[in-house]
Amino acid sequence: MFTERTSVGLDVHARSVFAAAIDSDTGELFQSRLTPSPEHILTWVQDLPGPVAVAYEAGPTGFGLYRT
């Protein structure tokens, strides 16, 4: 059984990031197109109901984000 309330998927590209999340308690969906700035992405994720689990598509544009 999962312990996080919200699951997030990030499709990371050089010029934009498409983010989608689902709240497992309410079924509410969240979607946003973000800038590739780690601060922008982190702010969006922190505004979601927690605890949060995040997954991203591995590749050269996502490695810096992962380290953040």
pLDDT digits (tens, 9 = 90+) for 31-49: 999 998 989 999 999 999 9
| pLDDT top residue among 67 and 1 | 67
List, in order, residues 6 or more apart from 36 with CB less than 8 Å away: 12, 13, 14, 15, 16, 17, 61, 65
Does residue 16 belong to any structural domain of this protein? yes
Q: In this predicted structure, what is the pLDDT of residue 51?
A: 94
Does residue 64 belong to any structural domain of this protein? no
Beta strands in the chain (DSSP E): 6-12, 17-23, 29-34, 52-56
Q: In this predicted structure, what is the pLDDT of residue 1?
A: 54
Does residue 66 belong to any structural domain of this protein? no
Write out the residue range of the structural domain in which residue 23 sits: 6-57
Does residue 67 belong to any structural domain of this protein? no
Does residue 62 belong to any structural domain of this protein? no
Does residue 46 belong to any structural domain of this protein? yes
**What's the pTM?**
0.84
Per the structure, the count of domains in the chain is 1
Percent of the chain exceeding pLDDT 90 equals 63
Amino acid at 48: L
Is 39 in a helix, a strand, or coil? helix
